[in-house]
Amino acid sequence: MANTQLVNERYVQMLESNMGPQLMAYMQDETITEIMLNPDGHIWIDTHDRGLVESPINMSANIAKQLIYNVGSLAGRVVPADFPELEAEIPASRLFSSCRFQGELPPIVKAPSFNIRKFGKKLFTLDDYVAQGTMTEVQRQTIMTAIREHKNIIAAGGTASGKTTLLNAILAEISQMNERIVIIEDTSELRCKAPNHVKLQTAPPNMDMDMLLRITLRKSPNRIVVGEVRSKEAMTLLEAWSTGHRGGCCTVHSESAYDTLSRLEELTSRVSMTPQKETVGRAVDVVVYLRKKVTKRLIEDIILVNGYNKQTGDYDIEKIG
């Protein structure tokens, strides 16, 4: 144990050296949500108060490459030579809290590039969303009713729209119920205070989201929560949600509330030759759509899905103001 701690501390020291004092200051600045290095060596930051900003910091290709390998060592991940990219979680240390990391090396980029997405320290509640103007009271009541009635809820939106933050707020409400929750993630971002819960995390290359979902079905869950649905696991989740495991929630990357349903159709088509509109309509009850507007995130739309109508060839949808 002591030897492992010494090895990890060495990697932490190397990461601190690679980042330098300016980048370390960004990592510890709570107004900054994401740090991005482009192949040209320029670093950009995404902030709560100013939006996307180009920083005065540059990083050499050699330092960036070392940083990517150091993150891999800290996370216990290997950067494959045949496809040099790294998706990992930087574990919490004396430097900063845990965060999500995506890095690439040549030849898939001209020079090393990475994104560091920081996990927010504050856990927002649905009441907080109303207080700060992100959602209306009617929208909050709609979500709360869906939670109580064991409806399946999708938090949807574009990149950095706040999907995971909203999912955490929904999960905080679910956690107050006396139920067993199983959570599946690629990166550990969801927080659950429920006394009876299990968290599963992918372990590439063999233990993917779909495999974890199949394991979950054997763990007697009352609710299944998935960090992000983005591939073939969509089919397994929709089948689980529509056959006795209602009351779950997940995030989906999409362009609108309605497009979320189309996105699920596209994801299920990767494993099914038969269109799955009826499965989507049966499994999904509520879609909450978020949109990022420069320095603010808003609940743009909520739709209630009342199944798929074969006669009209479309979903029966009710919009909530």
Least Cα distance to 11 among 64, 72, 99, 89 occurs for: 72
- CA-to-CA dists, residue 290 to 39, 163, 173, 253, 287, angstroms: 30, 7, 19, 10, 10
The amino acid that residue 67 corresponds to is L
d(CA 214, CA 232): 12
Domain regions of the chain by residue span:
2-118, 126-320
Residues pairing with 87 in the sheet: 102
Residue with tokens 């995506």: 102
Locate 8 and state its tokens: 């990890």
Structure tokens at 277: 């509109």
CATH architecture of 2-118: 2-Layer Sandwich (3.30)
CATH, domain range 126-320: 3.40.50.300
Residues contacting 57, CB < 8 A, separation 6+ = 20, 22, 23, 43
pLDDT score recorded for residue 292? 87
β-strand 286-293 against 249-253: which pairing, if any? unpaired
Structure tokens at 192: 């659950």
Distance of CA 80 to the CA centre of its chain: 24
- In tens digits, the chain (321 residues) has pLDDT values of 445 555 578 888 988 899 999 999 999 998 999 999 999 999 999 998 888 999 999 999 999 999 999 999 988 888 988 899 998 888 878 888 888 999 999 999 999 999 999 887 778 999 999 999 999 999 999 999 999 999 999 999 998 899 999 999 999 999 999 999 999 998 888 999 999 999 999 887 788 999 999 999 999 999 999 999 999 999 999 999 998 899 999 999 999 999 999 999 999 999 988 889 999 999 999 999 999 887 788 999 999 999 999 999 999 999 996
pLDDT at 1: 44
CA angle 168, 185, 318 (to 5 degrees): 55
Residue 7: per-residue pLDDT? 54
Q: How far is CA 58 from CA 36, 37, 61, 96, in A?
A: 11, 8, 10, 21
Give backbone dihedrals phi and psi of 3, rounded to 5 degrees, phi first: -65, -40
pLDDT at position 4 is 56
Which parts of the chain fold into alpha helices (H)?
A: 2-28, 61-75, 126-131, 137-148, 163-174, 209-216, 233-241, 257-268, 277-283
